[in-house]
A and B are shown apart, each in its own frame.
Chain A
């Protein structure tokens, strides 16, 4: 077996064993969430900030199933449509337990859930100034991605396709451009539909992939979590190994010398 050099994924000063980050939404129940997260091997999970249920005190809570001391919680701003809402949410997340590492996501349209980049850039600037480490969900525009990096984003997270669509990587060229120009990690976030999509993203040279719906909405989420774990390792190794050159013509695999 080839001994691989230890390939550590570092984001915002944290070293992660896995290049897969998983979302914790859309699961049947918290038991399934916890099992899927475990099967995925992810060290980091995204979580949302919402009102607690005052009336039902016995309702199970996420932290009982996923220990924030053992797995890194990445609070998000899902559902926020402007800078004020996003900042309010992340400041509350920080107050909850000192979370400074956050995922910023400012949406612009209810049907496509496309990010509002003007509000996203505005929020990034403010959050960085307040000492947050911001991983930013964004469009796949290389100029806007660079702008986020220049404004102190800890990771650039372009969408593969709309959130929850499962359409996979729609613009490999742009994602490639972003990877080549970025000094901070590039993590494909949103739109991945199946394990092979994640492999393609990793083969392009992405530093990581964030998955929620593709695992949670699979017929067997826990098995799909395993599939993603392997797909990402596979894609990463393939990227590191360096693919062969493409050619329009054939090249025999067996030597032509000594043919009988």
Chain B
């Protein structure tokens, strides 16, 4: 188990959980988002390689309406 902060909310995940697994859990298509992991942007091809640990901060963003 690991406690991470996902988009500002506390989330508990299993150990050995990658960013790829996280997207799968929330049914998010990786094509429409960008991810920042502890302040660093992670390229899409590295989602499976990046494993989450306690106190990690993950931000998942997408496009919304704006001026």
Contacts and interface: CB of A to CB of B under 8 A. Distances in A.
Interface residues of A, number: 37
Contacts of A213: 67
Measured as residues with beta carbon below 8 angstroms from the partner, the interface class of chain B is 20 to 34
A8 to B, nearest CB: 25
Interface in B1-45: 6-9, 11, 26-28, 31-36, 41, 43-44
Nearest to B63: A47
B32 to A, nearest CB: 6
Interface string A39-72: 0000000111111101001000111000010000
Nearest to A216: B67
Main secondary structure of the interface of A (DSSP, over half): mixed
A164 B66 CA distance: 12
A78 B67 contact: yes
Nearest to B44: A95
A23 interface: yes
B66 A47 contact: yes
A166 B62 CA distance: 28
Nearest to A49: B61
Given A52-B28, A95-B34, A96-B33, A47 B41 contact: no
Contacts of B66: 23-25, 46-48, 76, 78
A50 B28 CA distance: 15
Given A51-B7, A54-B6, A57-B27, A62 B34 contact: no
Given A49-B61, A51-B60, A25 B67 contact: yes
Contacts of A212: 67
B9 A54 contact: yes
B2 to A, nearest CB: 16
Interface of B: 6-9, 11, 26-28, 31-36, 41, 43-44, 59-67
18 contacts: A25-B67, A30-B65, A47-B65, A48-B66, A49-B64, A50-B61, A52-B60, A54-B9, A57-B26, A61-B62, A62-B63, A68-B63, A78-B67, A88-B36, A92-B61, A95-B41, A96-B63, A164-B67
